[in-house]
Amino acid sequence: MSDPCANTPALWGRLVTRPDPDTHKYQRGHCLVISGPEFRTGASRLAALSAMNSGVGAVTIAGSKAALRIHAAHLTAIMLQPIAGPADLADWIADRRPSAAVIGPAAGVGQGTLRLLGVLLSAGVPTVIDADALTALDGRPALLADRLQPAAPVVLTPHAAEFRRLFRDLDHDPAFRSLAPPQRDSKLEQTRAAACLVKGVVVHKGRETVIANDDGRAAVNTNAGPELAIAGSGDVLAGIIGSHLAIGMPPFEAAASAVWLHAVTGAEIGLALTAEKLAARIEPIFARKDMPRG
C-alpha cells in the first residue's frame, strides 16, 4: 500500500491542460446535475454553477418540471432537462451521453434517488455521489461495488457523519482488519478501506480532507480553513469534482485537484465566504496563474 502524500499540484498538476484552440464545448465535457424537488433546488444549482465555472464545456440540470421552473428564474447558460423518472433519465443519457454526473445535493433520501443513481451507474456515467445520495445508500456501500458497469468511476464525498453511517463495517478489507487498533481509528486508513469497499474514490471531508482510491493511493489536503464550514460548501465541491471528471481527469486526480481548488478559493475569499460567493469565484484550474502548464 502506498504512503499518502500532501494534496498539492505536484500530485496531479501534470494532468491539467488548457483546451485546444479548435475545441468545441462538448469536447470540454458535459456534466449532468440531478436536481432536488421544487422547493429544494438551491443545492443542485450551487453544484451546477460550480461545475460550469470549473471549466467544463456544458452543464445540464435534470429534474421535475416544477423544479426546473425555479432553476429557470436563476440560470442562463446552464441547460435544463425535464425528467419524470428513471426511464426518462435513461433515454436522455442514451441520447446525450454526458461525460459525468453529480447526484445527491438536496435530491432526497428515498428510493427515487437510488433509482436515478442506478440509471447513472448502469449507463457507465462517471458519477459524484454526494449528500442525500449517500444517505439513501443507508449503510449499504456494497451496492456500489456490485454496479453493472464497474469500470464507471464513482467518487463519494461524505463528511464525518455521513461516513460513519455509510461505512459502518470496514472489516471486509483484510488490510484494514490486520491493522492494530490505533491504526484502525485513523481517518486515513478508514478512508482507504472505504474506497476499497466501493471500488472507487472516497473524499472524506473535514479540516484535513482525505482522498483515497481503491488502489491504495491516498492524499491528505491541508489547505482548508474555517471559512469552508458553511452551508452549501459541499455542494460546490461536488460540482467541481463533477467538472473535473467531465473534463477527462482520472477520478482520483479529479477529486484531489477539486478539493485543493475548493480550499484555495475559499482561502482567497476568507471568512466573508458564502456558498454563493464560492461558486461564483471558482475558476478553471487550468486558468489559474499558480498552476503549471501541462
Is the residue at 68 inside a domain?
yes
Q: Residue 154 pairs with which residues in a beta bridge?
A: 127
Predicted pLDDT of residue 277:
98
Is the residue at 46 inside a domain?
yes
The pTM score is 0.95
- Number of compact structural domains in the chain: 1
Predicted pLDDT of residue 19:
77
Is the residue at 291 inside a domain?
no
Q: Residue 127 pairs with which residues in a beta bridge?
A: 101, 154
Predicted pLDDT of residue 293:
55
**In whole angstroms, what is the distance from residue 149 CA to residue 130 CA?**
19
**In whole angstroms, what is the distance from residue 231 CA to residue 250 CA?**
28
Name which of 35, 94, 32 is nearest 58 in CA terms: 32
Is the residue at 35 inside a domain?
yes
Predicted pLDDT of residue 94:
97
Is the residue at 283 inside a domain?
no
Which amino acid is present at 182? Answer: P
**Residue-wise burial string across 33-48, b where 16 or more C-beta atoms lie within 10 A, e elsewhere:** bbbbeeebbbbbbbbb
Structural domain span for residue 115 = 5-15+28-278
- Which cell goes with 7? 494534496
Is the residue at 288 inside a domain?
no
List all residues 6 or more positions away from 109 whose beta carbon is below 8 Å from its beta carbon.
132, 135, 136
How does pLDDT run across 106-124, given as a tens digit for each residue?
A: 999 999 999 999 999 999 9
Is the residue at 23 inside a domain?
no
Predicted pLDDT of residue 148:
55
How does pLDDT run across 57-74, given as a tens digit for each residue?
A: 999 999 999 999 999 999
Is the residue at 102 inside a domain?
yes
Predicted pLDDT of residue 178:
78
CATH number reported for the structural domain that contains residue 177 in this entry: 3.40.1190.20
Predicted pLDDT of residue 24:
65
Give pLDDT < 50 ranges for the chain.
294
Q: Residue 60 pairs with which residues in a beta bridge?
A: 32, 79
**Residue-wise burial string across 142-175, b where 16 or more C-beta atoms lie within 10 A, e elsewhere:** eebeebeeeebbbbbbbbeebbeebbeebeebee
